[in-house]
Amino acid sequence: MLKRNVLLGLGGLYGAANLAPLATAAPSPPPDFKTCSKTTITNGPEVPYSCCPPPLPKDTSTIPYYKLPPMNKLRIRSPAHLVDEEYIAKYNLAISQMKDLDKTDPLNPLGFKQQANIHCAYCNDAYAIDGKVLQVHNSWLFFPFHRWYLYFYERILGKLIDDPTFALPYWNWDNPKGMRLPPMFDREGTSLYDERCNPQVRNRTVMDLGTFGDKVDTTELLLQTNNLILMYRQMVTNAPCPLLFFGARYVLGTNIEAPGTIEKIPHIPVHIWTGTVPELNAPEGKPKYGEDMGNFYSAGLDPVFYCHHGNVDRMWNEWKTLGGKRKDLTQPEWLNSEFFFYDENKNPYLVKIGDCLDTKKMGYDYASSPTPWRKFKPNKKSSAGKVLDTSLVPPASKIFPIFKLDVNISFSLDRPASSRTQVEKDNKEEILTFNFIKYDNREYVRFDVYLNADKNVKPEDLNQTEYAGSYTSLPHTHKPGDDDHVSSATLQLAITELLEDNGLEKKEKIVVTLVPRKGCEGLAIGCVEIMLVDC
């Protein structure tokens, strides 16, 4: 009974209703720099160095707000697999000079490790505000934080090589030609090479956004097709509303996670695919905890991290071209949230989200690249076009809460309305929401969700109209002495399009199937519901 009470006693803060405005929300202020402290590597010891910034002015209240400088020429970020040797040489020189600062001036905020520490501090709970831990993942802070982060990182590299037009490349993993580690990062002995990458990324291996580093016995073509289908689901089907794409509101002090679609997939799987495989029994001196890309504390130590997040940032721009209600958020509490960074001249600044909505105003843009995922809407029906009989599976009320997801589970679920008109669909999105997801946050976690599919659904081929989406999580870090390894999360899936594709619009009940993929043996889910929500 105690376990059930803990699971269900969190309230409804992050349910589907979280898509509606909150009257009491407030912007996230910059961190309290005096609170910055060490953190602990996920499933490991204390981080052997401090992620906190170099010494700041005694009176941090004097740190000014950043003003975007005038730009005569846009910096153009290009696909990493298409850059020429001249660019690669320039990029290697810039990273090499950044790494040299670590040796000559370890506290220089422009140094390679200090730049990596920015991510470590903001993402590993080093900072606090009013005694509550600050975290920029798993909410609407994710996209703007990383945009500002890359903005300053890029300008620092340009300053180091005296080239204000220098632009970071982007890892074009949403295009089959870019679904491999970019070649420039696979040249041993160069400043762009990270020896702690997972060996599986070498030799032009095709990445798999559908798994967590596990080797899958399938063809490269199927892997690429699955990747494109996942991109379609995350960019189009599951992201018709801004708060589904960006992630839910950030409420300081809560540990409930509601990441946006792209943060879940492909952002997290790319991290895991690239980072080392956790091996807690590895010999002394060998990677044990998923370094570098595989762990938040160390992700910035791999130069490909910034290339990866360049494409994440590009997805923000691409999403806004898809039409409908796909626009930037307008809530003041989002626009006025703040972060702290150093500029290329070592000056500390505060920045606001509202100033980073237009990349051209920030002085950069992305070279165009084909986006084939726009046409990869799943078109196969594993159920052979049949609508499953909901009376043959137990209702959700008989299944939830569940305290373990180690086998496929199917259940029926009531819909709030059926046979909706197109006007009704345009006004309100139908959202399938799993509330109070609890899991061990030291593990990689993923489960998939299907509509109108029975327990025997096989997830190897994602080209199924019944595939609704997935929940994923990268391991977290903890402060020293923090033994609470349980995180709470919410998964929200937009299903209006899926109901149409599977002939379910007129049904008052539907069948939902959960398929565990990774780390779900100890996963619990409190309840599930479908709601009609105004985007």
Catalytic residues: 119, 137, 146, 267, 271, 296, 309
Tallying the residues shown for the chain, one arrives at 535
How far, in Å, CA of 334 to CA of 327, rounded? 14
Give dist(CA 211, CA 227) in Å, integer: 10
Please answer whether residues 532 and 16 qualify as being in contact, where contact means their C-beta atoms are separated by less than 8 angstroms.
no
SS3 257: strand
Q: How far apart are CA 152 and CA 360, in angstroms?
A: 15
| 279, 288 Cβ separation under 8 angstroms | yes
Do 276 and 292 form a contact (C-beta atoms < 8 A)?
yes
Are 377 and 463 in contact, with CB atoms under 8 Å apart?
A: no
Annotated binding-site residues for Cu cation read 119, 137, 146, 267, 271, 309
Query: What are the backbone dihedrals phi and psi of residue 25, each rounded to the nearest 5 degrees, phi first?
Result: -70, 155
Give the residue from 17, 1, 3, 2 showing the smallest Cα distance to 435: 17
- Beta-strand pair 75-77/364-366: parallel
- The number of beta carbons lying within 10 Å of the beta carbon of residue 399 is 19
Q: 500 CB contacts (<8 Å, ≥6 apart)?
A: none
> Any idea of the CA torsion for 449, 426, 371, 242, to the nearest 10 degrees?
-80
CA distances to 122, 310, 339, 425, 504 from 148, in Å:
13, 11, 8, 35, 43
Sign of CA dihedral 83, 87, 91, 92: positive
Amino acid at 249: R
Q: What are phi and psi of 222, to 5 degrees?
A: -65, -40
Element (H, E) at 471: strand 467-473
**Beta bridge pairs of residue 438:** 488, 524
φ and ψ of 211, to 5 deg:
-135, 180
- Write out the H or E segment, with its range, that includes residue 145: helix 142-160
What's the CA gap between 253 and 75, in Å, rounded? 37
Give CA separation, 194 vs 84, 171, 262, 277, 381, in Å. 20, 16, 25, 15, 42
94's enclosing H/E stretch is helix 85-104
Cα separation of 332 and 326, whole Å?
18
Residue pair 418/505 in contact (Cβ under 8 Å)? The answer is yes
